[in-house]
Each structure stands twice: as C-alpha cells, then as structure tokens.
Amino acid sequence: MVLNFKNNRVSIYLFLISLIILTNYLLYNLEVMQPLSATAVIGSLIDFLIVIPVTTYFLIIRKKYSLKYMGLVLLAGYGLAYFIIPNHHLATYSFIPYIIAFSEGALILIELYLIYKVVKVLPEILKKLKNNDINTSYFLLNLRKNIEEYFPNRRIIHVLLSDLSMFYYSLFSWKRKVQISTGQTFTYHNKTSVLAVYIMIIHATVIESVGLHYLLHEWNAIIAFILLLFNIYAILFSLAEIQAIRLTPFLLTDKILYLQVGITSSMELPLNKIKEFKYYDGPEKLSSTEQKNIYDARVLDFIQEKPMFEINLKEKQKIHLIFGITREVDRIILNVDDSQTFYRSLLEKLEFNS
C-alpha cells in the first residue's frame, strides 16, 4: 500500500510525537536503564526542545500557520521535559526557561520592528482608507489593499496585518455599525450559533487562564507569564472574530462579490470569473480532497448546516487566510441569512456581466 504523505501527515506527526514521549518516559522509569549518564538527559532535551518543534514545523505549521506558534510549541516541549525528566536531572539545566523567554522576546522585537515599518507609512495608508469606497466596516480588506502598495509580496507584513486587524476589531470597533457606500450586503451569521461559540471559548479561556496561571506561577513565573500572554491573545482573537463577523457581511457590487468571514478568511471575487452559481446539491460532508479546492465561507456552528449555495469558478482564484496565508480555489460554498434575495441579486449581476 502506498502511503499518501499529505493525507496522513497528522497521523505521522502524532505517531512520532507519541514515540518520543514514550521512549523518554521509559528511559527514566525502567530500572534496567538506570543509572543514566548526563548525555541521556541532553538527548532528552534535544528531543523535547529541538526534534518536537522541528517536526511540528514541517508536518503541521509550515505553509499553514504563523511561525508565532513555534513559541507555543517550544513551551509545550519544555513542559513535557519538566514532567518526564526527574527534577534532579533537570536542575542542571535551569537556564532553559530563560532561553525560551529570550526566544519569545526576540519574536516580539521582530514584530515591533515591523510595526515601526508600517507606522512610518501609516499616515498615507489612513488617508487612503478614508477615501475608499468600501467604508470602515471592511477594515481588513481596505488595509490589505493599501499595505500591498507599500510592501508587495512581503509575507511577514501580512502576518502583522492579521494582528493589526485583530486589535482593531477587538478593541476599537465596538461603537461601529455596518457602513457601506455601494452595493448590497448579506449577513451570514444571524441564523447560526457562531457568536455563542466564541463567547463560550472566551469564557473557557478566562477560567483556564486564572487557574493555570496560579498553578504555573508556583512552578515557574516566566512560563506562567508567557502562557498568560497567549491566553490574552486568544481572548482578543475571539473578540475580533465576533466583531468582524458582525461588521463584515458579504458585499455584492456590480462587478465584485466580497466574502469576508471574520478575520480568518476573505476573498474578492470578480463576477466575470464565476462559471456557475446554483443551490448546493452535494454531500453534507466534504472529503479532504474536495476541501483543498473549496472555499468554505461558513462560520463555526454547534451544528453545521448543509451549504445553501455553490459557486463554481472559471479558473482558480485566491483566498486570503489568517497570518498572510493564501490558497487558490475553484469552488465556493456559503450560507446567507436572506437566501432568496441573495440568489436573485447575484443571478441578476451575473446576467448583467455576461
């Protein structure tokens, strides 16, 4: 049987990580392995702080997620080392938490430098944002367009763009209302439980933050502080999703269909690129192969409803995901609250553009 690496990379990853954890656990708990030399401890630390992060990067993070997650992976690796390696062995390497903290600090400094680069041209960007036809509701879309003029093809700048959008929607958009100067808007969340999902996530994160921070602070204050920052980030992200979903309905103009789902995905689709628009008649659950070529423009839900509509494209178009990740698709599936009006309106626009 030929192993399809792409489809099985998560299984391969879990197998490798489980093997590393198991072998290291047995190393310190089997009597036949005692006494252990100093090199055995060094080998374990290499497993947890180098092998696991590198494996995670190549099998999980690469091309899909931001490198910022590597800090969390490194932290998790040290946590595994702390619980598996006996304290009298690990005490010799008490400097490791400081190295991890330094690494996190370096990532923060890099991001601050990028912020400085953006701030230098921010007055011009803000001036252009004010003159945009699509008003402040579509902050992420407008910001991306303007930043690309100054920093074309700079992936790391797009990572920063995600953070700027997150801070805007989570902290500065609460008094905003949907503001559109042209086109028709269609909400996509009112008939779902997506807002309740994110409120539950925020609630669980707050409870976990308080309890875990207290426990970890007794063990290591630096690690507790780093985890607290990650939890604050998660809360801000969830708040941003709530606000972005509320403020960015799908927008249909004479030439373009704008699809933005929270801050996690968006697409600017020219209507002349649409090959077919119809009610969805496919399976309720899509295979992993189908998902690679489809933009699923639906929100999270406790019970995910079957898609209402399907859009087939003449050629692959780009969608923007979080942290500057892009992907090309040739199909779109989506739901809207006012399905009949959306169906009639889009058909009329397509006929006009044919």
pLDDT digits (tens, 9 = 90+) for 291-342: 888 999 999 888 888 899 999 999 999 998 887 778 899 999 999 999 999 9
Average pLDDT over residues 176-196: 87
Where does the pLDDT of residue 3 fall: very low under 50, low under 70, confident under 90, or very high at 90 and above?
Answer: very low
* Residue 125 tokens, joined: 């960007």
Residue 323 CA to its chain's centroid (Å): 7
Percent of the chain past pLDDT 90, that is, above it, reads 26
3-state secondary structure of 94: coil
Which pLDDT score, from 0 to 100, does residue 347 have?
94
Q: How confident is the model at residue 56 (pLDDT cuts 50, 70, 90)?
A: confident
User: Which one, of 347, 353, 339, lies nearest residue 186 by Cα?
Assistant: 339
**pLDDT recorded at residue 342:** 95
Structure token pair of residue 17: 């990580």
Residues 9-53: pLDDT tens digits? 777 778 888 888 888 888 888 877 777 777 777 887 888 888 888
Q: CA 247, CA 242: separation in Å to the nearest integer?
A: 9
Does 5 have pLDDT greater than 50? no
pLDDT at 82: 78
| Nearest residue to 232 via CA among 166, 283, 291 | 166
Residue 60 vs residue 297, higher pLDDT: 297
- pLDDT of 95 > 80? The answer is no
- For the stretch 118-173, pLDDT in tens is 667 666 666 665 555 445 567 777 777 777 776 666 666 667 777 788 888 888 88
